[in-house]
Structure 1
């Protein structure tokens, strides 16, 4: 006796509409394209983190264990001696770098905000020419003006070390800070400035009471940018400071040259110490940096 199977018949739902009793198979969560994308991202992350791995591993190796032949191997004996030696050598320079970059970043950001406001919302004859000349400073190579700049600083009687480096980073930071703030203020509604003018507020009063409170996103962007560029600078440090009054980049160079043939671990630990402040700044303020960029601080 044979039986015949009947095909699945749609069953009506509450509203009388036929409804299929069979369900579709669930679609895969990850497609081939998405898998390849994540694989490529993982590959580039590994490439970027390889130097960090070598730095970190070598910083815990002893003098005999830290060698190019064992760069990829884990330490035979883990030690903190390299970190102690590097901190002893770099801690005074790290303090001097903080004394330099903090006021340099704040002063350059404040001057850039003033310039950006005037050039964007308080127009005057020749404003575009002034803005072009300010931006021209961004494209002058430091090496081209280093000798006359050195003579100028010496002629003004500015002490070498932190004072002269603060002045130089403020001056060379004004073009980029002016550009960022001007582009950000171009997105501010004209009604705010016009309302302040109607109420009798002058340029400085309008800037202090109206514009400055809404400039936090751009200040975050500029402060992170200036802090990083001033902290990582080496050329100005070579010309305008010495090992006794210079920043951490100069001290790190002296440490690496002194330990190059003796212990790579000290150099690696010193490099990690020197890069730690900028890394912490990006970790703490990274989301605010991205938010400041997206809020119009780099829009033309």
Structure 2
């Protein structure tokens, strides 16, 4: 006697049949798709306008058709933005700001990550006296507005002759990046089993030996996250570079502002758009190239606490 009745005979739809029915378009799913499409247009439409404007001659731009494709495609605006656009009295293009930003970003990123990694390691495993108080100060320092500390830092850097210099702006970015980097590395190292650290101590490992030979090789996911955060944050900075870098070391964002606000007769919108895209290419490239490792770093405990 068959005690199990078939789903089709009993009139109850099978699980596979219900799953097939759920894959159809429902009002909720249509709403999600509509929201995603709207969000994509919201972010991509300005980029599209910037791209098409940067490859149009000024004669077409004067017609006022922002969304129209260029009739005469040209890259002259890109060449002018890079090589000959005026940033005040100098007309050397935005390439000067690009190399200034590179000289600022590279040492600032390395120093802030190195110091943050050591601090996070010490706060997570070694537990020095006053570690809780220090962690609270770092947590508070990570959320202090930059504008509050500009004037005191100007006075301090001026007293040690680092104001308006490349080492001065590197020190500033290192200081402002250290609290966030310390929190990231501390939260990452806390997720590592304590038994691993204790075993290294039993084997005779000291503070630096455990950090360099054990912890640092395991820190690739969080280092990638830290590099992405620091490179994009420092590259996109405006106020710190404007105040502390000096006229000879102005970063790309400040040079972009100077190009847009410098006019000698007609405002060249195609050159401005090309300069804007050139300024944003480095953060975009970092996200597109290392986005997968960024997600891995977060999934590996980079933001656990």
TM-score, length basis structure 2: 0.87
Deviations 1:84-119 (A, max 9, x none): 011110112111111111121111111101000100
1:139 is displaced (CA, Å) by 2.3
Residue 281 of structure 1 aligns with which residue? 286
* Residue among 176, 196, 200 paired with 2:200: 196
1:204 is displaced (CA, Å) by 1.1
- Post-superposition, which runs of at least 4 consecutive aligned residues in structure 1 deviate over 4 A? 15-26
Cα 1:68–1:220 change in 2 (3 A) is: farther
CA contact (8 A) 1:138 1:176 kept: yes
Residue 75 of structure 2 aligns with which residue? 80
Structure-1 separation of matches of 2:49 and 2:278: 15
Residue 273 of structure 2 aligns with which residue? 268
1:117 aligns with 2:121: yes
CA contact (8 A) 2:164 2:247 kept: no
CA contact (8 A) 2:163 2:245 kept: no
Residue 59 of structure 1 aligns with which residue? 54
After the TM superposition, which residues 110-189 of structure 1 pair with which residues of structure 2 at under 5 Å, given as runs? 110-158=114-162, 160-189=164-193
- Which piece of structure 1 moves more, 42-51 or 63-72? 63-72
Residue 3 of structure 1 aligns with which residue? none
Cα 1:257–1:67 change in 2 (3 A) is: farther
Residue 293 of structure 1 aligns with which residue? 298
Structure-1 separation of matches of 2:63 and 2:173: 37
Structure-2 separation of matches of 1:67 and 1:271: 20
1:149 is displaced (CA, Å) by 0.9
CA contact (8 A) 1:220 1:289 kept: yes
TM-score, length basis structure 1: 0.88
* Residue among 95, 100, 114 paired with 2:99: 95
1:36 is displaced (CA, Å) by 2.7
CA RMSD of aligned residues (A): 2.4
Q: Could you list the runs of 5+ residues in structure 1 that have no partner in the other structure?
A: 1-14
Aligned residues: 287
1:153 is displaced (CA, Å) by 1.1
- Which piece of structure 1 moves more, 34-43 or 79-88? 34-43
- Which piece of structure 1 moves more, 162-171 or 190-199? 162-171
CA contact (8 A) 1:66 1:263 kept: no
Whose Rg is larger? 1
